[in-house]
């Protein structure tokens, strides 16, 4: 299975500001020694070794994940603004000729998970086929509503690709071609659903958005089937621990320490901290990742085998 991250930001798209770019350039130049900038090759080598918060960005697009199964089937999970760049890539392939087929899973219909749909170019090409899957019974109505003419000039019906909607159950397996899907209701205002994809021996679990509080942790065994033995877990870690337990209770999101506890308990191999807070810049996110790694090393209950990444737009995982 191959998983590519196209959108990792929570709540609202967050473009880099001019001031942020200037700050990155100043930090980079401040670190450079004369030998680092003596040739184009040395500049490239120097830049490639800078930390991501100086040389680049974790990304500002809202949630969208591409999954390619071993059989070559395409799954798209959530349709935040990240789906726009995915759409540009797909248009270079069979989707540009109207021969594309993809399954789309929507965790829920908060704006940051559907706002890319009106700008997803493959939906404007007749012949492409998109099958939408979700436990949400009125999903089609909600998508149609987003593109009423008071909100957008092109209605969803007038996008010429073929769109079909399928409601799938929770706490049970659904089968699409060669893969097994298992969905689970997550604690989140207005409800959201996590999805587990099993492709042969490879397991990918996606849970955005979710707020795991002390209540859920007490009953965490209810989630065992959903999380168990995942090769890759994308988990909502929008807040710091302080925010999640004191300042932003019931806002619908979790922290990295809760994500780590759950990942470790259920034998997850790699945890990706995801759905970044829009108010946090790249340096803050790098600091949160460092804190998360410290937490895993000092907490004896956390498995030594668990590895952690901060979700980064454009990154690909194959397992």
Q: Which residues bind Zn ion (CB under 5 A)?
A: 10, 110, 112, 209
Residue closer to Zn ion (CB basis): 24 or 188:
188
Residue closer to Zn ion (CB basis): 202 or 238:
238
* Shortest Å distance, C-beta 46 to Zn ion: 36
Residue closer to Zn ion (CB basis): 10 or 116:
10
Catalogue the long-range contacts made by 170-175 (C-beta closer than 8 Å, 24 or more residues apart): 170/135, 171/225, 174/133
* Shortest Å distance, C-beta 8 to Zn ion: 11
Residue closer to Zn ion (CB basis): 1 or 8:
8
Residue closer to Zn ion (CB basis): 209 or 282:
209
Residue closer to Zn ion (CB basis): 184 or 265:
184
Residue closer to Zn ion (CB basis): 265 or 275:
275
Q: Give the C-alpha separation, 205 to 236, whole Å.
A: 12
Q: Give the C-alpha separation, 108 to 131, whole Å.
A: 16
* Shortest Å distance, C-beta 193 to Zn ion: 11
- Beta bridge partner(s), residue 204: 197, 232
Pair 80, 44: CB distance under 8 Å: no
* Shortest Å distance, C-beta 252 to Zn ion: 6
Q: What angle in degrees, to the nearest 10, is found between the helix axes of 256-265 and 282-298?
A: 40
* Shortest Å distance, C-beta 70 to Zn ion: 29
Residue closer to Zn ion (CB basis): 112 or 281:
112
83-119 exposure pattern, b = at least 16 Cβ within 10 A, e = fewer: bbbbbeebbeebbeeeebebbbbbbbbbebbbbbbbe
* Shortest Å distance, C-beta 136 to Zn ion: 12
Residue closer to Zn ion (CB basis): 77 or 179:
77
Lookup: tokens for 254: 């979790």
Q: Show the CA angle centred on residue 274, arms to residues 180 and 128, nearest 5°.
A: 50
* Shortest Å distance, C-beta 251 to Zn ion: 10
Burial (0-12, 13-18, 19+ Cβ within 10 Å), 214: exposed
Chain Cα centroid distance, residue 79: 10
Q: Show the CA angle centred on residue 270, arms to residues 267 and 272, nearest 5°.
A: 125
* Shortest Å distance, C-beta 113 to Zn ion: 6
Q: Show the CA angle centred on residue 53, arms to residues 7 and 203, nearest 5°.
A: 40
Which residue's beta carbon is nearest to the bound Zn ion?
110
- Beta bridge partner(s), residue 278: none
* Shortest Å distance, C-beta 41 to Zn ion: 42
Q: Give the C-alpha separation, 255 to 130, whole Å.
A: 33
Pair 133, 103: CB distance under 8 Å: yes
């Amino acid at each position: 299975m191959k998983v590519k991250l196209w959108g990792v930001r929570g709540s609202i798209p967050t473009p880099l500001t001019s001031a942020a770019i200037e700050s990155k350039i100043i930090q980079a130049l401040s670190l450079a020694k004369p030998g680092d900038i003596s040739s184009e090759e040395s500049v490239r080598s120097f830049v490639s070794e800078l930390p991501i918060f100086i040389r680049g960005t974790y990304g500002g697009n809202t949630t969208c994940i591409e999954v390619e199964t071993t059989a070559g089937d395409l799954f798209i999970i959530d349709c935040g603004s990240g789906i726009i760049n995915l759409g540009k890539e797909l248009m270079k392939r069979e989707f540009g000729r109207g021969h594309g087929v993809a399954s789309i899973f929507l965790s829920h219909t908060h704006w940051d998970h559907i706002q890319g749909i009106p700008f997803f170019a493959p939906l404007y090409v007749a012949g492409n086929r998109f099958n939408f899957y979700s436990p949400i019974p009125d999903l089609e109505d909600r998508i149609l509503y987003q593109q009423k003419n008071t909100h957008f000039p092109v209605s969803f019906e007038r996008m010429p690709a073929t769109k079909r909607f399928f409601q799938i159950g929770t706490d049970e397996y659904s089968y699409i071609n060669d893969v097994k899907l298992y969905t689970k209701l997550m604690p989140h205002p207005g409800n959201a659903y996590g999805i587990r994809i099993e492709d042969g021996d490879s397991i990918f679990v996606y849970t955005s958005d979710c707020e795991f509080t002390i209540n859920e942790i007490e009953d965490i065994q209810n989630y065992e089937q959903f999380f168990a033995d995942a090769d890759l877990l994308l988990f909502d870690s929008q807040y710091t621990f302080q925010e999640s337990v004191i300042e932003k209770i019931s806002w619908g999101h979790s922290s990295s320490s809760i994500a780590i506890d759950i990942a470790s308990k259920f034998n997850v191999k790699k945890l990706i901290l995801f759905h970044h807070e829009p108010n946090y810049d790249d340096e803050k996110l790098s600091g949160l990742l460092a804190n998360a790694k410290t937490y895993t090393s000092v907490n004896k209950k956390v498995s030594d085998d668990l590895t952690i990444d901060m979700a980064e737009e454009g990154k690909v995982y194959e397992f």
